[in-house]
Amino acid sequence: MLSSIANELSKEGSTLVLLHGNADADAVASAFAVQQSFPEVIIGVPGGLDRVSKQLSKILNIPTVEDVSKVHYARLLILDTSGPEQLDFDIDLSKAMVIDHHVRNERWEKAAMYHCDDSKSSCSEIVYELLKREKRKVTREMALALLFGMLTDSGYFRFAKHDTLVTFSEIMATHGIQMDEAMNQVDLDVDISERISQLKGAQRLKYWKVGNYIVATSQGSAFEASVCKALLGLGADVAFVGSQRGEQFRVSARATQAMVRKGVHLGKLLGGIGSETANGGGGHPGAAGLTGTGDVEAILNIAAENAMKLLQKTKSSCD
């Protein structure tokens, strides 16, 4: 099926490639690789691009068309789209070719050609397979885009199928691309003021060890949640970060998923402190917040103490 699709794409006349609404990096990378390899390819995104793929298309100069109603084309190729309802555009299915990696969809069976391979974590892998089979040249830019599509669709390999790793490694080797280069193409945007808050948070850090667990607190003036995440990144299991503005304080809390699995519930923990001190707090097991009137340092100490008591219990129940 892939080679019949390649044959069609090589014929005279233009191809309109359509992507799913809010098209992601995998969709855009796949379309870009097709566009670079075959004549007269227009990339249509009737449902727009998401934040990351907008950046990717800017960096790699990938032209996309949002209003596809006036585009003339000889054939349609639909990429990375799990069903017709994802398209934000009505098409004549009998003239469409579809390449996808989601679960096989009955509604695509009416398409002229339908290649669905759910053993792949991304559409980028299928497009790479097609180019390789057809012995098409893959430029370094195309390789970078495809690697990025594979990375983002597999959650940076957390959900990658083993094929993904094999193909990824092959593309890296063929094009001399390093992992950091593949990963850092798009600035996922932690701006400088946020990064400074994280560094200040690390500077003002206090921590306590309970068995094998670490509880950390810190103070800052902004980005409390982001500082919490940074502290977890440094090795804390539970982190509380607060700020004081006049009489008012604000506290964010984060715990690792491992802590949540052990029964830590920060929403309940901060909610409890809230009612003790007549302030409002709550949230989810792994992420919560508390705001109110009072001394942030005192609140952070109470929060850390409660967390330690909880971990003490967890620890003794494990012994």
d(CA 307, CA 295): 19
- Give the shortest CB-187-to-Mn ion separation in angstroms: 22
- Give the shortest CB-114-to-Mn ion separation in angstroms: 16
- Give the shortest CB-56-to-Mn ion separation in angstroms: 13
Mask: binding to Mn ion, 24-53, rule CB under 5 A, as x and -?
--x---------------------------
- How many residues bind Mn ion (CB under 5 A)? The answer is 4
Q: Which of residues 286-315 bind Mn ion (CB under 5 A)?
A: none
**What is the separation of C-alpha 225 from the centre of its chain, rounded to a whole number of angstroms?**
18
- Give the shortest CB-26-to-Mn ion separation in angstroms: 4
| Of the residues 125, 153, 224, 237, which one makes contact with Mn ion according to CB under 5 A | 153
Please identify, using beta-carbon distances, which residue of 46 and 267 lies nearer to Mn ion: 46
Please identify, using beta-carbon distances, which residue of 121 and 243 lies nearer to Mn ion: 121
Q: Which of residues 112-131 bind Mn ion (CB under 5 A)?
A: 123
Q: Which of residues 52-111 bind Mn ion (CB under 5 A)?
A: 80
- Give the shortest CB-96-to-Mn ion separation in angstroms: 18
**Closest CB to Mn ion: residue number:** 26
Please identify, using beta-carbon distances, which residue of 147 and 310 lies nearer to Mn ion: 147
Using rule CB under 5 A, residue 241 touches Mn ion: no
Please identify, using beta-carbon distances, which residue of 80 and 88 lies nearer to Mn ion: 80
- Give the shortest CB-262-to-Mn ion separation in angstroms: 34
Please identify, using beta-carbon distances, which residue of 161 and 200 lies nearer to Mn ion: 161
- Give the shortest CB-153-to-Mn ion separation in angstroms: 4
Q: Which residues bind Mn ion (CB under 5 A)?
A: 26, 80, 123, 153
